[in-house]
Amino acid sequence: MFSKSCEYAIRASIYVAKQSLKGRKVSQIEIAKSINSPKAFTAKIMQKLTGPKIIHSSKGPNGGFFLNLPELDSVKLWHIILAIDGDSLLEDCTLGLEKCNALKPCALHFSFVNIRADIRRTLEGTSLRALVEDVSEEDSILKR
């Protein structure tokens, strides 16, 4: 359903959020190792997440990636997806046709209207805190 980049971004966000709850900032190398992602790939993902301020970063000896605790409730799964994949999940034609819309629908267009609305509600309603609470203390779930 999501691109590989988006899957890694979600896992990285969960990891950073978990560490932020412990009062820790984490390095890009630690994130990459914890989610089993190549370092260069992780760097690109983290750059996309810090641009729209989903995740913050600070430099220096005590620097790293982090979230402010109130943001665990305000950052939604949808924000992460938008930062990485954009809105194509809910906007592009289900069959991959170029000019599908309500005025020129494909055969599945109207069948997916309610499904997409449900998906959007779920993604917009799922906070990073909810994702963190769903992941046990066993971090291996974040690896693929």
Residue 59: pLDDT above 70?
A: yes
CATH class of 4-135: mainly alpha
Give pLDDT tens digits for 15-42: 999 999 999 999 999 999 999 999 999 9
pLDDT of residue 64: 96
Domain boundaries, the chain: 4-135
Q: What is the mean pLDDT of residues 44-56?
A: 95
Residue 80 has pLDDT above 80, yes or no: yes
The whole-number average pLDDT for the span 44-63 is 94
CA distance 30 to 33: 5
Residues 6+ apart with CB under 8 A from 13: 49, 54, 55, 75, 80, 128, 131
Give the pLDDT confidence score for residue 139 in this predicted structure: 52
Structure tokens at 87: 């809105």
Q: Residue 37: its pLDDT value, please?
A: 94
* Tens-digit pLDDT profile for residues 90-138: 888 888 898 888 899 999 999 988 999 999 999 999 999 999 987 765 5
